[in-house]
Every structure is written in C-alpha cells, then in structure tokens.
Structure 1
Amino acid sequence: MYPGFSLFAQDLHNIAHQLGSRAQHFAKSSVLLTGCTGFVGRWLTESLLWCNEQANLGMHLHILTRNKKAFLDALPHLEKRTDLSVLEGDILDLGSTRLPDFAYAVLAMNYRNSGMPGWAAHHCTVATLGTEKLFRMAGACGCRAVLVVSSGAVYGVCPLCPDSEVFCEELPSLESRLQESVLYGEGKRFLELFAVSLGQRYNIRVPVARCFAFCGAHLDLNSGNALASFLADILAKREIQIQGDGQTVRSYLYGSDMAVWLLAMLAEGEHGVPCNVGSERAVSLLDLARMCARLTPSCKTVRIQGRAVQGNAPERYVPATQRIRSRLHLQEHVSLEKGLAATLRWFALQKHHG
C-alpha cells in the first residue's frame, strides 16, 4: 500500500490504467460525493484521489457526510490531503451547509431500517426532498453530471396484482409494504425516475448505476450478507456458517472493477440509461463458502444450518452486464477467486496492524 492510501497498490494502478483517458473528464473540476462513506464511497474516494495524483488532474474532491469524525476516524490517512474536503451536513439541510460549486456529483442514499417508527417516512423524505435539493444546487452551479447509485433491488419490485385479469387491491394494507425488503427497492426505483426527471429540468446528465454485490477492501463485515459473514468467520478462526441451505445464488464484482465502472459512468454514461454494475459469475452460497474456506488453512469446515433465511434480495441475485460492457467498453478484470483472496488478505493485514 502507498502512503496516504488504504487500498492495495496494484488495485490503484489497475484503476488508473483501466480508467485511462476518461479521468481527464475530471481535470480542473470539483467532484461531490454524497452518501458515499461506506464500501462504494471509500473505493471511489481513493480511486479519484489516486488518479488526481498520477495524472495531475487538478481536481478537488468534496465529501458530504453526516458524521465527519466517524469518516476520518475510519480513513485517518485522508485527513491532511489538500485535494479533499470533508463536509459535515445532511442532504436534507443543504442550505445550511456551505457547498462549493461542483461539476460532477455521485448521489448515493443508504438509509437502512433503524427500527424507529418514523424510519419509512424518513427514507422517502430523503429520496424526494434530499434529491431535489441536490439537483437544485447542481443546476445553479452548472453541474455536468450526477451519477445515481441505485441498486439491483429495483428488480425485486413486484407487480401489485400479478396473474390477474382484473386489478385488485393488495392485501392486507400498504403498511405491510413499509418494510426494508420492499421499501428499499421501491425507494431506489423512485429515486432513479425522480433524478432523471430533475436532470431533464436542469440540463444535467444523469446516468444510473444499479449496483449488485461486491468484494474487496472495506467490505462491511457486520453487514449481515453472506460473504461478509463467511470472512468474519475465517478471521475469527471459526467454522464457516451458512444460515440457509446454501443454494441461494449470488455474484461478486471486485472493488477495483466496480470503481472503474462507476467512474466511467460518471464520466461518459448516458442520461437516463440504467446500467447494472456487478459480476455475471454466478455462485451458490455453498460453493462460495467452500471457496472462502480454501483460502486459509485455519478454516476448512463449512456448516449448513439449513434454515430458511429472509433477506432483501431474491434467491438468485445476478446481473446481466452486456449493456455497460458494450456501451462503455468495460470488462471484469478480477476473477472471483482472486477477488476473494485479495479481500481476505486486506482484512488479515488490517487485523495484523490493528
């Protein structure tokens, strides 16, 4: 790893090489990231800062976060950078946050269920008022593009009245749909449409990235998803536990490929055109667990609990990526095996230095 960066040096080199001349879109400009303090945001942040250094872009990166201290505590090596400003504020209260003019923005919203009674209403408020405030500001400063970071969860939005010749009210009530597994996907779908319509109003290009599952540095091991749980088991030297029957199918795009795809969309993605961002390499959770177990001699046992597990994604959650591959000439460079090995190696290093 290079001083000032938490990602592997090879990953940073690959990102700069694969992004190539597209990085010049960000030369002498300001880029704003909102809702980008987790896995996706950390990869985008370090990717942009690395390209800025290597290509002398003269770019300045601004990150809007509700908790500046928490962000810098997680990434202390970024605190003294002169090409980065970390701004504390809420997208719902942009009027009181002094934001500079920006030419590009990444809009991501990840309000998870807090368990509080008003969570669902707040989720919808952020998607509407927060998005409108950002676009109003973007329009006023001549922003060129806003990349909407959406989710493959939009494909899980089911018709209200399937397999029926007449339209019937859904049962038992709309309150039954105010759960994270439903509202998350519907909220993302609305965000896509609303953002594209605001892009029309303010003459801003709005590409839409429908993100699936990823692996790599900074993966949240407490997120509860299968891969994170498997890696947490390995790092704790426990046997790997599969909560379900292991037949659920997923795919995982490595972080460096994800960063290149998202930045390529920000630079050149078409207005209003959604593109899936993920891997087409499908793998059952049982096979994934076995692959993870083979990465370390300390963990060879995989235990299948066999219990049905309710989650936000369907039994098979794998994207088709022909659109982004053909339109932006992108490809997946890091195999699942290499991506998993790099992810585990990164966390092992963090634990060693930790």
Structure 2
Amino acid sequence: MTDTKGLPIKNKRILITGGTGFFGKSLIHHSPAFYENDFVLLSPDVDELKKDFAFLLRGKRIEFIRGDVRDFAFPETNFDYILHAATTSGKIIPDDEMRSVVIDGTRRVLEFAAQNRDLSRLLYISSGAVYGSGYNVPLQENFPCGPETVYGKAKLEAEQLCLDSEVPCSIARCFAFVGEYLPLNAHFAIGNFLDDCLKNREIVIQGDGTPVRTYLYAGDLAHWLWTLLLQGKPGRVYNVGSDDEISIRNLAETVRKISGTSNKIRVLAPIAAARPQRYVPDVSRARKELGLEVKTSFEEAIRLTLEYHRQRRVN
C-alpha cells in the first residue's frame, strides 16, 4: 500500500463519481483515508462491488448513490471534497453516449459542487488523450492539445468546463496504469497480456510492438490523486503517470517473464519505418510542485497485480 500519511484529511466528507470503476476500487484498496473519512460513491452499478468486492468495504466509512452521473439526485448533505472520475474509457460505447457521459456528467457534477458551501476542492480526472498523437516526446502540460478521438475531445471540453466554473478545481491528466482492478478483457494491452499469461495462452501483439508506453501502479496512482485533490493548485493541470518507458513488445516479454510462463509471443505486423509512436507523460510539474514520485517499480507492479489475480482465482 502506498503511504498516504501526512495528507491533511480526516473526518471529511468526500464524493467520488465513478466510484466502482478501476480508479474507485484502486482508491479504496490503497488509501488509509477510507478508514478516517466519510465517502459517498456514485455509480450506476454498485451491486458488483457490494457482492464480489465486499472485502474492499470492510471497516471503511462508505455509502453509495446508485445513479447516472448525468442526472443523479443531489445528496442533501454537503461535501468537503469531490473527486470526479466517472467515465467510460474501459469499455466501448457509441460516440454520442461517450460524449454525453463526459460532458453532461461534468456539467452535473459542477452544478452540484457549486451549491456545496463547505467544498474545499474538486479534482477532475481527465486523460492524456487530450494531447492527441502529434508529439513524439514526453508530453508536457503546456503543449497545445489536439485530441483525435471522441473521448479525448470530450475530456478536453470537460476540462474547460471545470476551468471556466467558479468551483476550485485541479485537473489530473491520467495516462496508463496497472493494478489489481484493471480490466483484463478490455482494450488495454497490459491487461490483455496479463490475462494471456494467467491462462498460459499465446500473446498476440496487433501491431509491430514498437509503440512506447508507461505504466504507473495503482497504489502510486491513489497517492498521486489524493495529493492532487488536497494540494494541487486550483486551475492547474497535472500529468499523472510514470515516465519509465517501455515498448509494447518489451511489455509482453516483461509480463511473461514475471509470470513465469512460456507462452508464445506473436507480433502481427513487421516493424514500420516510421519512428515508434509514444504515449508518455512528462511528470516534472507534479514532481517539482507536489513532490510526487513513482515509488513502485514496473516489475513490482506486475508482480503485485498477478499475485492478486492468482489469489482471487484460488479463493
């Protein structure tokens, strides 16, 4: 568990939207804050968490609101903090639905935040997708954004909604992660590779294996998000992720090595002549302003994730 001690948070009331997704589960799993504060988690589907992840909730001060982020009924009580993480990046949905969840959901959350007289801060969970693919260097927060996907465009528009509001808000542009609750059957390469090794089946790389990515462990992610929520400067954008680069081919090999399996790796495309595409954050702003660091090595993050899934399958 990444240490969150020292953060000034105790006996506060905190709303998390998207509270039952990867971010929400990772925050619950890795944050001692859940034992010392009152949390309300908004999600359209809380049954899975209550049933299959009941162990996560033991001893924690958590309530649930079942609802859609776009039209949820406002709780009657006030909140000290809001962490707005509701999104649909882990599954494929129609473009208009994607845009509505991101844009209309953010409007609804900001409307609720504006009427909270006790609110100290809101943290909006955005995405590195807002930068687009026009750069082949580590992405800095001051780079012009050129999103190419509906998801990226909607996230950028939602960022502006936050910045234009009167709500004290920081923005976390999140990149790629690995951890216990990352879906293994979604469109995340690292999740697919982990699943392949857990089932000892062939790893298939759809491209040429040269694109470069970075992965921050969920425990570190939880610490970074709490720090941004509590100490990030209002109106400020911060990249969230690791800057330890790895190619997709090397990613597959590393996952297989740590898994201890001998399954085959098959690369479908020949190596292209163009420079490898990079999706890498520059996290120097978070380091310099907030003292944030990548504390968990990539290899250890893989080991912890595998250990969790193997233990769950035994039980």
The aligned residue for residue 49 of structure 2 is 71
> Contact 2:28–2:34 at 8 Å: present in 1 too?
no
Shift of 1:78: 4.5
Asked if 1:279 is matched to 2:262, the reply is no
The aligned residue for residue 314 of structure 2 is 352
More displaced stretch, 238-247 vs 272-281: 238-247
Map 1:183-194 → 2, pairs under 5 A: 183-194=150-161
Shift of 1:130: 2.5
Map 1:226-265 → 2, pairs under 5 A: 226-265=189-228
Quick one: which amino acid aligns to residue 53 of structure 2? L
Map 1:101-116 → 2, pairs under 5 A: 101-111=78-88
The aligned residue for residue 279 of structure 2 is 317
> Contact 1:243–1:307 at 8 Å: present in 2 too?
no
- Cα pair distance change 1:231/1:181, threshold 3 Å: farther
> Contact 1:157–1:182 at 8 Å: present in 2 too?
no
Provide the aligned length of Structure 1 versus Structure 2: 300
Structure 1 SS opposite 2:5: helix
Quick one: which amino acid aligns to residue 84 of structure 1? I
More displaced stretch, 138-147 vs 120-129: 120-129
* CA–CA separation in structure 2 for the residues paired with 1:84 and 1:256: 19
After superposition, give the CA deviation of every residue in 1:311-348 in whole Å (9 maximum; x if it has no partner).
xxx92111110000110011111111111111112111
Quick one: which amino acid aligns to residue 109 of structure 1? A
* CA–CA separation in structure 1 for the residues paired with 2:56 and 2:299: 30
Of 10, 15, 31, 2:14 maps to 31
Structure 1 segments unaligned to the other structure (5+ residues): 1-10, 159-179, 309-313
Shift of 1:121: 3.0
The aligned residue for residue 121 of structure 1 is 96
Shift of 1:128: 3.5
Shift of 1:153: 0.2
- Cα pair distance change 1:40/1:113, threshold 3 Å: closer
Structure 1 SS opposite 2:71: helix
* CA–CA separation in structure 2 for the residues paired with 1:112 and 1:330: 25
* CA–CA separation in structure 2 for the residues paired with 1:285 and 1:63: 34
The aligned residue for residue 98 of structure 1 is 75
* CA–CA separation in structure 1 for the residues paired with 2:238 and 2:263: 38
Quick one: which amino acid aligns to residue 92 of structure 1? R
> Contact 2:198–2:259 at 8 Å: present in 1 too?
no
* CA–CA separation in structure 1 for the residues paired with 2:29 and 2:238: 23
Quick one: which amino acid aligns to residue 129 of structure 2? A
> Contact 1:92–1:126 at 8 Å: present in 2 too?
yes
More displaced stretch, 71-80 vs 239-248: 71-80
Structure 2 SS opposite 1:67: coil
After superposition, give the CA deviation of every residue in 1:151-203 in whole Å (9 maximum; x if it has no partner).
00001076xxxxxxxxxxxxxxxxxxxxx9611111111111111211xx2xx
More displaced stretch, 286-295 vs 39-48: 39-48
Shift of 1:113: 9.6
The aligned residue for residue 152 of structure 1 is 128
- Cα pair distance change 1:135/1:115, threshold 3 Å: closer
The aligned residue for residue 141 of structure 1 is 116
> Contact 2:18–2:24 at 8 Å: present in 1 too?
yes
* CA–CA separation in structure 2 for the residues paired with 1:282 and 1:74: 34
The aligned residue for residue 21 of structure 1 is 6
> Contact 1:151–1:211 at 8 Å: present in 2 too?
yes
- Cα pair distance change 1:342/1:113, threshold 3 Å: closer
Q: TM-score, normalised by structure 1?
A: 0.78
> Contact 1:295–1:341 at 8 Å: present in 2 too?
yes
* CA–CA separation in structure 2 for the residues paired with 1:342 and 1:82: 22
- Cα pair distance change 1:346/1:151, threshold 3 Å: same
Shift of 1:248: 1.1
Shift of 1:141: 1.8
Name the % identity. Answer: 30
Asked if 1:131 is matched to 2:131, the reply is no
After superposition, give the CA deviation of every residue in 1:105-148 in whole Å (9 maximum; x if it has no partner).
111232359877xx333333333333222222222222111100
The aligned residue for residue 335 of structure 1 is 297
Quick one: which amino acid aligns to residue 75 of structure 2? R
* CA–CA separation in structure 1 for the residues paired with 2:245 and 2:65: 39
More displaced stretch, 68-77 vs 84-93: 68-77
* CA–CA separation in structure 1 for the residues paired with 2:52 and 2:159: 30
The aligned residue for residue 168 of structure 1 is none
Of 33, 56, 76, 1:51 maps to 33
* CA–CA separation in structure 2 for the residues paired with 1:28 and 1:115: 38
After superposition, give the CA deviation of every residue in 1:267-289 in whole Å (9 maximum; x if it has no partner).
11011111111110110111111
Q: TM-score, normalised by structure 2?
A: 0.87
Structure 2 segments unaligned to the other structure (5+ residues): 135-146
* CA–CA separation in structure 2 for the residues paired with 1:259 and 1:211: 12
